[in-house]
Amino acid sequence: MTLVAFSNFIDGAFDTPKTTFESIDPSTGAPWATMPAATEADVDRAVEAAHRTLHSAAWASLTATARGKLLVRLGDLVVANAGRLAELETRDTGKIIRETRAQIAYVGDYYRYYGGLADKHEGSHLPIDKADMDVTIRREPIGVVAAVVPWNSQLFLSAVKLGPALAAGCTVVLKASEDGPAPLLAFAELVHEAGFPAGSVNILTGFGHDCGRRLTSHPLVSRVAFTGGPSTARAIVRNTAENLAYTTLELGGKSPVVVFSDADLDSAANAVVAGIFAASGQSCVAGSRLLVERSIKAEFLDRLKHKAEAIRIGDPQDPATEMGPLATPRQREWIEKIVAESLASGGTLVTGGKRPDDHPHGFYYAPTIIDAEDPALPCVREELFGPVLSVLTFDTEAEALALANDTPFGLASGVFTTNLAKAHRMARDIHAGVVWVNTYRAVSPLVPFGGYGQSGLGREGGFDAIRDYTRSKSVWIRI
């Protein structure tokens, strides 16, 4: 089979790569494309182009309104090309076509939202305490942005960085993950078609240890926007010790979903199942810890077991498929290790816990539920990034809250109850950047998103995200 060849997009041109690697289709385990492995020299070229462009007439003299129009055009192009981008993302990551189509449709909304905000972002004029002075605070683009994303939802995780960065007037070098980079490298064609000046947006892929390290420590980079795992985040922070770039980190999670006995159990069960098994559990907000009130535990677990066993596993390109493979074999090995350790340490398997028999090829793993009981089990502590739900039981609201907060992470959480006061108390006291009450996984460009503790630093989404790509300049004038 001839492999499809992809290129990096640097300084407005699609490069013929000098070094490449093969990308694997996770549903078959076979290579399907060759990807460019950007070298440190490629990174240098991209950062230098972004730096040159930052102050160039082609970019710096564009008004905020003109930049906004480019972003809106890009959003329109993403929507017009959603089918092709979704197919590529499904092919390269194994995420099911239903999910990639739905997600890419709203990626367009993020670009449109930040396009609309580009000329609404203002500085200020201060009522200064000196009669002979006039002070204005200008907000200027912070500089060249290094954006680094993981393999899951690459188009979405890029939009929450590129949108506000370009609206603010920054230029960007975006590094796609070496796992599943196809949709982002194809997206580069849309950046080109939208009319962004050469060098303002550069998109490349390569490996973390050379390309990622060089990019995030580059002396011409002023801002790093990272999404990925906590151990990589530590490496990134060490890299930025070199350039002192302002850095935001969107990391992992071990999100609790609390189901009280007074909840609408039907809708809670649907949300819990979608919360953990969507994207085969490979989502930073996966609701991977279920905390259920003891009086409804048996009934609720029974509902979940039936729903999990009814999930249609199959070819991710088939619109009827409800769960696809994991993205990489190492991902599956990690999940298998933690599940085995947890069962050996006292966890009880409710369902799953194995590779599905009828999918011998590809990196499939069955929807799995473990009745953990012990909060110290590895499946309760570790982020698995896979389709594994760990169940803990509580008797009182205080116990539910203590269990919910018993994690170094703090990204998302869910609360299911029909008691309004209880919902408010839980929402106030849970340590997480997002609390969903009687729903799970709702997102919008208007709403900030980010974690507490080991789940990250800073927020993406919403109006304030643009400010995070600017720096202030205080101008004092004697009058």
CB 318, min distance to ligand NAD, A: 25
Contact predicate 240/162, CB 8 Å: no
Q: Measure the CA–CA gap between 245 and 146, rounded to whole angstroms.
A: 9
Exactly one of 385, 394, 452, 469 binds ligand NAD (CB under 6 A); which one? 385
Q: What is the DSSP letter of 291?
A: E
Length of the chain: 479
Q: Measure the CA–CA gap between 202 and 38, rounded to whole angstroms.
A: 12
371 phi, psi to nearest 5 deg: -80, 100
Cβ closer to ligand NAD: 12 or 448?
448
Cβ closer to ligand NAD: 136 or 246?
246
Burial code (b: 16+ CB inside 10 Å, e: under 16) for 242-280 equals: ebebbbbbbbbbbbbbbbbeebebeebbebbbebbbbbb
Q: Measure the CA–CA gap between 317 and 87, rounded to whole angstroms.
A: 7
Cβ closer to ligand NAD: 253 or 353?
253
String marking each residue 141-180 x if it binds ligand NAD according to CB under 6 A: -------xxxxx----x-----------------x-xx--
Cβ closer to ligand NAD: 135 or 237?
237
User: Alpha-carbon torsion 211, 91, 351, 371, what sign?
Assistant: positive
CB 107, min distance to ligand NAD, A: 14
Contact predicate 464/139, CB 8 Å: no
Strand order in the sheet with 4-5: 4-5, 30-36, 20-25
CB 285, min distance to ligand NAD, A: 7
Element (H, E) at 471: strand 470-478
3-state secondary structure of 69: helix
Q: Measure the CA–CA gap between 192 and 135, rounded to whole angstroms.
A: 40
Cβ closer to ligand NAD: 87 or 250?
250
CA 377 to each of CA 277, 342, 348: distance values in angstroms, whole numbers, following the listed order: 20, 6, 11
Q: Work out whether 17 is an interface residue with ligand NAD (CB under 6 A).
A: no
Closest CA to 85 of 69, 65, 71, 106: 106
For ligand NAD (CB under 6 A), the number of binding residues is 32
CB hemisphere CA count around 331 (13 angstroms): 23
Residue type, 384: L
Cβ closer to ligand NAD: 224 or 290?
224
Element (H, E) at 378: helix 378-381
Closest CA to 425 of 254, 276, 253, 258: 258
Cβ closer to ligand NAD: 7 or 154?
154
Set 250, 322, 382, 460: catalytic member: 250
Exactly one of 383, 393, 462, 469 binds ligand NAD (CB under 6 A); which one? 383
Cβ closer to ligand NAD: 198 or 435?
435
Please give the residues from 198 up to 257 whose contact with ligand NAD meets the rule CB under 6 A.
207-209, 212-213, 216, 227-229, 232, 235-236, 239, 250-253
CB 154, min distance to ligand NAD, A: 9
CB 100, min distance to ligand NAD, A: 15
Please give the residues from 42 up to 101 whose contact with ligand NAD meets the rule CB under 6 A.
none
Cβ closer to ligand NAD: 251 or 372?
251
Q: Is 22 annotated in the active site?
A: no
Q: Judging by beta carbons within 10 Å of its beta carbon (0-12, 13-18, 19+), is residue 396 exposed, middle or buried?
A: exposed
String marking each residue 282-301 x if it binds ligand NAD according to CB under 6 A: --x-----------------
CB 221, min distance to ligand NAD, A: 11
168 phi, psi to nearest 5 deg: -75, -15
Contact predicate 284/260, CB 8 Å: no
* Token code pair at residue 428: 């106030």
CB 114, min distance to ligand NAD, A: 17
String marking each residue 452-471 x if it binds ligand NAD according to CB under 6 A: ----x---------------
Q: How many helices (H) and strands (E) does the chain have?
A: 16, 21
CB 346, min distance to ligand NAD, A: 26
CB 433, min distance to ligand NAD, A: 9
Active site positions, annotated: 250
Query: Which parts of this chain interact with ligand NAD (CB under 6 A)?
Result: 148-152, 157, 175, 177-178, 207-209, 212-213, 216, 227-229, 232, 235-236, 239, 250-253, 284, 383, 385, 411, 451, 456
